[in-house]
Structure 1
Amino acid sequence: MSKQSKKKVQENFLNFNFDISAYRLLGRELITDRITALFEIVKNSYDANANLVEIEFISLNPLNDTSKIIIKDDGIGMYFEDLRDRWMVIGTSSKRRNRTSPEPYLRKVTGKKGIGRFAVDLLGSKLTLSTKRKDENRWIYLETDWTKYNELEEQQLSLPLGMEEGANKKKDFFTDIKNRYWFGKNDDKAGHGTILEIEDINDPWTEDDIKRACKELARLVSPNKGIQKYPFNIRIKSEYEGMKDLEIKPLSYIEFATISIELKSSKEKETQEIAVFENGKLLKKDTVKQSFGLIDFYLYYFDQPAKRKFKEKFNIDIDGIKIYRDGIITTPFAETEADQNKQKDILGIDKRRYSGFFDKINSRDLLGFVELTDENNAGLIEATNRQDFLDNKEWRSLKDFIIDQIHQIEKCLKNNKEQIRKNTKSNLNRATADLSGIKTLVKEVKETAPKELHEKLQLIDSSLSKLQGTVNKSIVDYTKLEEESKQKESLYFSLVSLQTYAAMFSHMTKHTIGHVLRDAEYFSSRFPNEKLEGRFKVISSRIYDEFLTLRKGVDFMLKYAQTDNEFEDINIHDLINNLFISIYKPTFDLNHIKSELILDDKLILHYNKKALEDIFDNLISNSIKALKTVKEGIIKCSGVIENKKLILKFSDNGLGIHSDDRFRIFEIFFTKTAEDGGAGIGLYMVKNRIEAMQGTIEVTDSEFKPNGATFKIVLPFKK
């Protein structure tokens, strides 16, 4: 509408009002990125039963007086009462009361907070809103100038303390600012929906900015729950080539994936499908309904060739798992960072420490879609800022579930690599045997062949010898590579144990030096004194004992400079007792922990000492964390010989292990003590060390029922 025609209409004004729930909201600061702002506006169009949303970028790089963003939908539009009572009311609860859009679409609406209108402010300072219902005869127009709100805020903040309450000074409020509205002609029946014309654009939009907006908007609708009957389409118009009239469509991923897992749930049976790697295969099994509710989960793994094909097809990167509710993305969406390395990792896939070790996969290898519903997942609540979920037991349980399903893929990949490794080694050995057979055959042929063929047969025999030498060298190199890989893994385990012990050793050293300093100060200030001779002897003995403790700690640290290949006879009682009495005693005393060792002092194991110390060092460290809130803690180790096997039980009376976690406790990066520095590596290392000894470890019923945890360790015993 022209400025001249605007003057002819009667000027009316609307003011923003606050719903009773608005105290929970932080207003515009919740939407901090313009891509997120676009998302919020487009989601409003989805809730309004729109079939098509058009986003037009006009003259946005560089910015000038004609720069605009126009967002137009063909949704149901608004009556004047809707504009007054919903759009102009912050935190309005209409969508919270009515969670479906009008018939016949009956979409599950996505807006619950009533803050989407503030998204406009992130795009530009001035808005002209046009809206019309299909059964109305005229359009309604509303102007909002966000600069007035900013000016008011700056004005109020600039007043000296107390002046805003001066005697005759009227204080202006957010709700006092007038927003002009008017009606169009009565005979304008064409079209319906809502149009947002945004001017005074805040920032230029480059070609890359709009491409990223397209990429994010393509994720709005779940690719697994496409809207067929009432489709939701998004069209981009801009000055850039390829985006002058671009329709955004959900992407199809399945055809490129190396491994696909599609897990469904049953509301009738209250069961949830899970993926389990068993007997060399990735299987689907039904389990009970989880604490987070019932979900459908689509997970796709891409190896390097698959990633290349995917990139060539869609020109976008593989970027992890997205979460949808009732078919529309919840979070994380509209990442403010275009750089993948800086994007959010709310599921903790990449936060698993040392993710490059031991066949770990990360979000750059995975695409996934978690399908939630309002009905089945009420406990999973999106944070108001749209970038995370509320941290409750349901959310933590869902994260654990997702990580576990990723781990099943990791186990499958590890098994595949192991099979390839075995087949490669087997093929190399078979090639050696085949070459020997061929050489023998050539020799036999040479004995009966005409003399004119001898020279050629000799060349063949010589070539076979060279080839056989090459294959034999390959076998030697391959074996050496395997050994180096094992040594690197062993070094990694030692570093993990060293990290745990170093913190404790630092505390021990500080304590010991503190005791020695106090005693030395006593000597310095009072020696010589015949009357205190007895006291001096006690203090001298104590200083000697403190330095013995410190030396034991240093010796224990020095073992990390040793190799894991050195085997020796080890008194298992003395090894554990040294950890209990000498190494960990200061920590036990500080935390009121008692240790108990019931083990024959003549039991000898022939193994690497450092590896055994790693095992019990990590078990002790785990128990200390579990005893954090226990007043009188106990750590106990007992052992017996049965059928030429040493059976050890390692127990504590701490928090224990939940039954749901027993099958996962030995998995790498699984931890319940992250706040205490736990990285989920210790028990994984313990299990691998014990299995390298041809032993086993498992969680059994606690000796300290109903609390605590007990690990049963079985080791082959020869002495």
Structure 2
Amino acid sequence: MSEPIVFKPRARLMSQLGEQLIKDENIAVLELIKNSYDADAKEVSITMENIENPESAVIIIEDNGDGMSLDIVKNCWMEPGTDNKEQKLKEMIENNIRSNLNRLPMGEKGIGRFGVHKLGNKITLITRAEDSKEVCIEIDWTIFSSNKYLSDIPIEVTERDSSYRFLNNSVKGTKIIIEKLKTTWSRGKIRELYRSINSLNSPFKSIDSFKVSFNIDKTDWLKGLLEYDDIKEYALFKVKMTLSGDKIKNYVYDFTPWKSMSKLSERHNPITEIDMVRSIRKENGMGKTRKVLEPIDLNKCKIGDVEIELLSFDLDSNILKMELTDIQGIKTYLNTNGGIFVYRDNIRIYESNKNDWLGLGVSRVNSPGDKISNNLVLGSVNINRDESSDLKEKTNREGFIEDSAYDLFCEAVLFAVQKFERDRAQDKLYLKKYYGVTSKSEPVMAEVTILKEKVEKKIFDESLKKEIFGCLSNIETQYKHITEVYQKSSSAGLSMSVVLHEIDKIISELEHAIIAEDASEHVRFLVNRLGTLTDGYASVVKSKTIKYFDLKKIITQSLFMVDFRLQAHEIIVDKQYMKSNIDSKVKGNESLIASSIINMVDNSIWWLQYAKIQSKKMYFDISRDIPGYLSIIIADNGKGFTIPTDMATRAFISDKPSGMGLGLHLASELMKQHGGELKFPEFNDLQIPEEYKQGAILALAFKEK
């Protein structure tokens, strides 16, 4: 025997849904505001009274939107989970239509109304659509706590004539009165709500047709809250760009130092187009894999173009005091409001400030000087509602569902943010040099000296003066000792970075060798080379092996070490140096020079692949074209350096995604130790083929005696 049955939800299901679907009161208020946006309201007013006492407190949310007729209230508002907005959105997108205020609905799940249940136990809804009567509903949510079935609890709806006017004297709109609050609102919670309401609209693209006002009888609770307009002028680093398909388009970076920073100049860096790529392992058909660059392509999902705008700050107190009096104010504002937020049609997709969706905090822990964290940036990532259907909001309204479309979206945005970080790092270097806390060679020792001078002038008790001087001398001694320990530690750390940097190259070559041939002898040679290199760098800290060696030989050995990688990437090597009759012997550490050449080859391989050069080439020569130097000339036929060459040799400065920024810095330092220089000659200063004119050109220049 079988019979059809139906679900019979209990009334308390409404309470459970209200508590669990809406995480907190802030989100509940924001959901109701978004409902007003969807109703084409021009204004929304949030009023809170007697908020410290839940029994007598009241929250009023009122708008001048389209309002609801009796039919809409009965068949939409009273049906939780209705697909009314979802179907409306689909129809509007398919027919390319918008509301009267050029909007698409933000809500589509039909659960926003649960926000009122999250806030209080009693609500009164008053609404009127155009050419309709006023509709009124009163609901006491406590009756839903009973064990009755949901269908057994009727809600009385009243339709009536009324002359009530909504916001801005509008004849249509909606007013929701919430009483018997379920939460005690503290001062901190009110301030958090105020910030959330302010961040609902993108600060970079405010919606003139949608204004939200916040009113509370505890006006002193909002005292001291800074606004976006109060701090935006203090941003030193700015960028605007659009992500479209697999490219960053119209990238415009600006460094704008304050007038008080007379030693620094503005820097404007516009780039028409930047390829977005990721490094992946790909099978080569022989059961092995190798690293290749693959586009990060937003067109693989329905995400549409992504507009990004970022403002970044320097919170070094030494710098802030050059312009600001309320230093703590800006730090507090950024700690609470900072971050990069997603906006859909300029309305924020709510995520908690503590939710670091791009992982900026983790990245900064590993490299604090170069990376930005949420408290150093104000940013908007804006997507279009009708183009981003694959990005679906979670039911609880806390961001997007974390699926493949979301992962792709995050990867593209993070790639763009990292490009901004690399630009910012260049200007941050000079900012720190001239105005940062380390701009003085020994700031602590300088302060001790000043203190000694004051003691000498102000203290007349000789025994006390002697005692103070003794303490200050102990501070100086201990400070010098600690400084020496840290300097040694940092040197060891840098040496370890060198080892890791070089080992990575050899391991990469090992992979290509294993793939390309079954030549165990060559593989053993590479393994031995890896061990020798590791041991060599460990011994470099203690001593160096200096001897005469032939530049021709060292270039040949270096190219042999990367032969398989060059073949794998189809790079033709022009060995002009083999035709040279120049006596090419120099004195130095040939192992370290070989490592520098390998690093430069590795850089060219990556950038030639990134630039999508069809016929990739590298050029090697030995030349005396640079007066006073015997030089190894290395060039490629790519698109040249993307950052100024004087910045390229700075440690940890790189424009290569995920690059360490060590290769050219180490090469430069190595050449200095050899009494030479790492130079970046102009094309016309050398005798090299025309096809290398636009590419990167470097010279390991050894001083001739």
Per the TM superposition, whether the score is higher than 0.5 is yes
Preserved CA contact (<8 Å) 1:223 1:251 = no
Q: Partner letter of residue 577 of structure 1?
A: T
Q: How many residues align?
A: 570
1:396-435 alpha-carbon deviations (Å, 9 max, x no partner)? 8964664355335522433136784545389869979x99
Residue pair 1:383, 1:390 contacting (<8 A) in 2 also: no
Give the partner amino acid of 1:650: I
In structure 2, do the counterparts of structure 1 residues 563 and 553 end up closer, same or farther at CA, with 3 Å as the change threshold?
Answer: closer
Contact 1:564 1:610 in 2 (8 A): no
State the partner residue of 1:414. 432
Distance 1:98 1:320 in 2: 33
Residue number among 84, 87, 96 corresponding to 1:88 in the alignment:
84
Shift of 1:366: 0.9
Deviation of 1:90 (Å): 1.3
Partner AA of 2:164 in structure 1: A
**AA in 2 matched with 1:579:** S
CA distance in 1, matches of 2:661, 2:194: 40
Listed one character per residue, the Cα deviations across residues 176-200 of structure 1 (whole Å, up to 9, x for unaligned) are x9xx99863322333543356999x
Aligned match of 1:368: 378
Partners of 1:566 and 1:590 in 2: how far apart?
Answer: 37
The CA RMSD over aligned residues, in Å, is 6.4
Percent of aligned pairs with the same amino acid = 12
CA distance in 2, matches of 1:290, 1:688: 30
Q: Please say if 1:132 is aligned against 2:121.
A: no
Distance of 1:32 and 1:670 partners within structure 2: 44
* Aligned mates of 1:122, 1:580 — CA distance in 2: 67
Q: CA deviation at 1:49?
A: 1.6
Aligned residue number for residue 579 of structure 1: 558
Matched-pair contact (CA < 8 Å) for 2:335–2:374: no
Are 1:490 and 2:494 matched, yes or no?
A: yes
Find the partner of 2:164 among 190, 199, 209: 190
- AA matched with 2:34: K
Q: What amino acid is aligned across from residue 556 of structure 2 in structure 1?
A: N
2:92 and 2:111 mapped to 1: Cα distance? 16
Report matched runs for 1:326-365 at 5 Å: 328=346, 330=348, 333-335=350-352, 340=354, 343-345=356-358, 351=363, 354-356=366-368, 359-365=369-375
Does the 8 Å contact 1:321/1:363 carry over to 2?
A: no
Letter in 2 for 1:299: S
Residue of structure 2 aligned with 1:72, choices 49, 61, 74: 61
Return closer, same or farther for 1:632/1:98 CA change in 2, 3 Å cut-off.
Answer: closer
SS of the residue 1:90 aligns to: helix
Aligned partner of 1:274 in structure 2 is 254
5 Å matches for 1:662-677?
A: 668=652, 670-671=654-655
- Per-residue CA deviation, residues 212-268 of structure 1 (Å, 9 max, x unaligned), is 65553342245677889985224689xxxx89x977997336878995338699xxx
Per-residue deviation at 1:617? 2.9
The question of 1:115 aligning with 2:90 is answered no
State the match for 1:521 in structure 2. none
Q: Hey, what's the Cα distance between the residues in 2 that align with 1:691 and 1:422?
A: 28
Task: Give 1:681 shift.
Answer: 2.8
Q: Given the alignment of the two structures, is residue 710 of structure 1 paired with residue 703 of structure 2, yes or no?
A: no
Q: 1:643 Cα deviation (Å)?
A: 1.1
Change (3 A) 1:409 1:71: farther
Is residue 512–residue 547 contact of structure 1 (8 Å, CA) maintained in 2?
Answer: no
Unaligned runs of 5+ in 2: 1-20, 77-81, 142-150, 167-172, 241-249, 275-304, 321-325, 394-398, 401-405
Q: How far apart are residue 624 of structure 1 and its match? A: 3.5
> Do residues 556 (structure 1) and 575 (structure 2) align?
no
List per-residue Cα deviations over 1:18-62 (Å, max 9, x = no partner).
xxxxxxxxxxxxx9966667544423424512231358999999x
Residue 633 of structure 2 is aligned to residue 649 of structure 1: yes
TM-score w.r.t. the length of structure 2 is 0.59
The verdict on how the C-alpha distance between 1:411 and 1:551 changes in structure 2, with shifts beyond 3 A counting, is closer
Q: Aligned in 2, Cα 1:615/1:128: closer, same or farther, shift over 3 Å? A: farther
Match runs of 1:261-660 below 5 Å:
261=236, 274-275=254-255, 280-283=263-266, 285=268, 298-303=311-316, 309-310=328-329, 317=336, 319-322=338-341, 328=346, 330=348, 333-335=350-352, 340=354, 343-345=356-358, 351=363, 354-356=366-368, 359-369=369-379, 383-385=391-393, 391=409, 399=417, 402-403=420-421, 406-416=424-434, 420-424=438-442, 480=484, 483-484=487-488, 487-488=491-492, 490-491=494-495, 493-501=497-505, 503-504=507-508, 507=511, 515-516=519-520, 543=521, 547-564=524-541, 566-567=543-544, 568-569=546-547, 571=549, 572-581=551-560, 583-588=561-566, 590-591=568-569, 593=571, 595-599=573-577, 603-606=584-587, 611-626=592-607, 634-641=617-624, 642-652=626-636, 656-657=638-639
In 2, are the aligned partners of 1:593 and 1:633 still within 8 Å (CA)?
yes
In structure 2, the partner of 1:219 is 199
Kept in 2, the 8 Å contact 1:595–1:634? The answer is yes
Structure 1 CA distance for aligned equivalents of residues 254 and 389 of structure 2? 23
Q: Tell me the CA shift for residue 132 of structure 1.
A: 1.9
1:695 to 677, 680, 692: 677
Describe the superposition over 1:510-533 as per-residue Cα deviations: whole angstroms up to 9, x where unpaired: 6799644xxxxxxxxxxxxxxxxx
Structure 2 CA distance for partners of 1:493 and 1:215, relative to 1, 3 Å: same
Distance verdict in 2 for CA 1:293–1:322, change over 3 Å: closer
Q: For 1:18-57, what aligned pairs fall within 5 Å after superposition? A: 39-46=30-37, 47-53=40-46
Please list the CA deviations of residues 457-505 of structure 1 after superposition, one character each: whole Å capped at 9, or x if unmatched.
Answer: 9x99999998998799689659846853762463254044135235326
* Within-5 A mapping of 1:151-230: 184-192=158-166, 193-194=173-174, 215-221=195-201
Q: Secondary structure at the match of 1:713?
A: strand
Contact 1:381-1:390 at 8 Å conserved across structures: no
Q: Give the TM-score taking structure 1 as reference length.
A: 0.58
Mapped partners of 1:416, 1:700: distance in 2: 30
2: CA distance, partners of 1:680 / 1:506: 21
Are the counterparts in 1 of residues 256 and 266 from structure 2 also a CA contact under 8 Å? yes
Report the secondary structure of 2:623's partner residue: strand
CA distance 1:478–1:300, change in 2 (3 Å): same
Structure 1, 464-473 or 546-555: larger mean CA deviation: 464-473
- Kept in 1, the 8 Å contact 2:512–2:565? The answer is yes
- Residues 50 and 232 in structure 1, CA contact (< 8 A), matched pair in contact too: yes
Q: Work out which of the two has the higher radius of gyration on C-alpha atoms and give 1 or 2.
A: 1
